[in-house]
Copies of this chain bind each other. A is one copy, B any other.
Amino acid sequence: MRVAVDAMGGDHAPAHIVEGAVQAAREGSVPLLLVGPREEVEAELERYADAGALDIEVADAPVVLGMDEPPTRVLRSKRDASICVAVQAATAGGADAVFSAGHSGASVIAALSGFGLLPGIDRPALATTLPTISGAAILLDAGANVECRPLHLVQFAFLGAAYARAALGLQSPRVALLSIGEEASKGNDLIREAHRQLKGTELNFCGNIEADDLYRGQADVIVCDGFTGNVALKVSEGMVEAIEQLLHEELSRNLSTRFGALLWRPAFDRFRQRVDYAEYGAAPVLGVRGVCLVGHGRSSARAVRNGVLLAARFAGDDLAGRVGRDLAAAAMPVAPV
């Protein structure tokens, strides 16, 4: 399963992207299609002595989309941007999956326009995997749709449940809405109406959960609009950073805690790998007829490696096909009920 990697995505592109992709090719035997300005990408590849022996092709994409450019530009003036060329390769048979650590909005739009939507789905959603105290949970939408209607949230619930069955192997994933109170009456108009609609579906809908329950493992699929989902993820990221700094301050206060810190540091680093969104991997674009994973813009080479391996696994498992068949078999509402 060849993975097309957008070599220009992310804060450390192309260096960290190529480094992580090469690691995935080397350690996971993943054939690659690296997409970006050919000379720049090939110069990066030359830094790895074994690159020539790995199954790595390069596709030229001379245009780079800046992080501050509107994502819809990939539909108009920037159809030769690396993310678009990567998706085109996947639709034309030159690759089986796409990974990008860049501009998530542009990646979602490129995947939507290149792969097309699954039947019954009006909007693609980004599905992040959160570490919980008891395992993992899927949060969607993580930022693809800032304005949602209740039916979109219902569709995200079905998408998330299908993904949890396909990717986490759960038979009957517990689906919840993210709200500001557990009662059906709590939340904004969007959540209250989505709650009402979800109650009538075949999903294992367990109601609303509050944001302090996100990490407690009380649900397998947590549904919200992309604005709320993005805020929830980013708060978590900022919190990990603040905690690291504040704990460091507390631990530096005296000699015994400084000594404690020496012992504690490796534990914190392992912990950080478990919870840090930038480290934790990549989020699939759900609802499209193809596999496209979006990594964090700050992804390290290791996170890129993990994201590329996951993209190859999802392509091998036919994730998009399985999610599509799951939806086709489901009694998903097609209009507000």
Contacts and interface: CB of A to CB of B under 8 A. Distances in A.
Interface string A226-259: 1110111111111111110111001101001101
A260 interface: yes
Contacts of A250: 267-268, 270-271
A77 interface: no
Nearest to A185: B70
Contacts of A178: 231
A239 B147 CA distance: 26
A116 interface: no
Contacts of A239: 215, 235-236, 239-240, 243
Nearest to A269: B250
Interface stretch (A151-159, A205-213, A279-287, A311-319): A205-213
Instruction: Tell me whether chain A's interface is mostly helix, strand or loop, or mixed.
Output: helix
Given A235-B236, A237-B212, A238-B211, A247 B227 contact: no
A253 B263 CA distance: 12
A228 B227 contact: yes
A216 B238 contact: yes
Given A133-B245, A235-B214, A238-B212, A260 B271 contact: no
Given A267-B253, A271-B243, A68 B180 contact: no
A264 interface: yes
A73 B189 CA distance: 20
Contacts of A232: 211, 231-232, 235
Interface in A264-305: 264, 266-268, 270-271, 274-275
A146 interface: yes
B263 A256 contact: yes
A171 interface: no
Contacts of A133: 242, 245-246
Interface in A139-154: 143, 146-147
B260 A238 contact: no
A225 to B, nearest CB: 8
A187 interface: yes
Contact of A267 (B131, B240, B251, B263): B251
A92 interface: no
Contacts of A236: 235, 239
Contact of A215 (B215, B242, B247, B261): B242
Contacts of A246: 131, 133, 271, 274-275
Contacts of A253: 267
Contacts of A210: 234
A256 to B, nearest CB: 5
A147 B188 CA distance: 6
Contact of A235 (B212, B241, B247, B261): B212
16 contacts: A143-B180, A146-B188, A147-B189, A191-B227, A211-B237, A212-B234, A212-B238, A212-B241, A228-B228, A231-B231, A231-B235, A236-B239, A239-B243, A253-B267, A259-B263, A260-B260
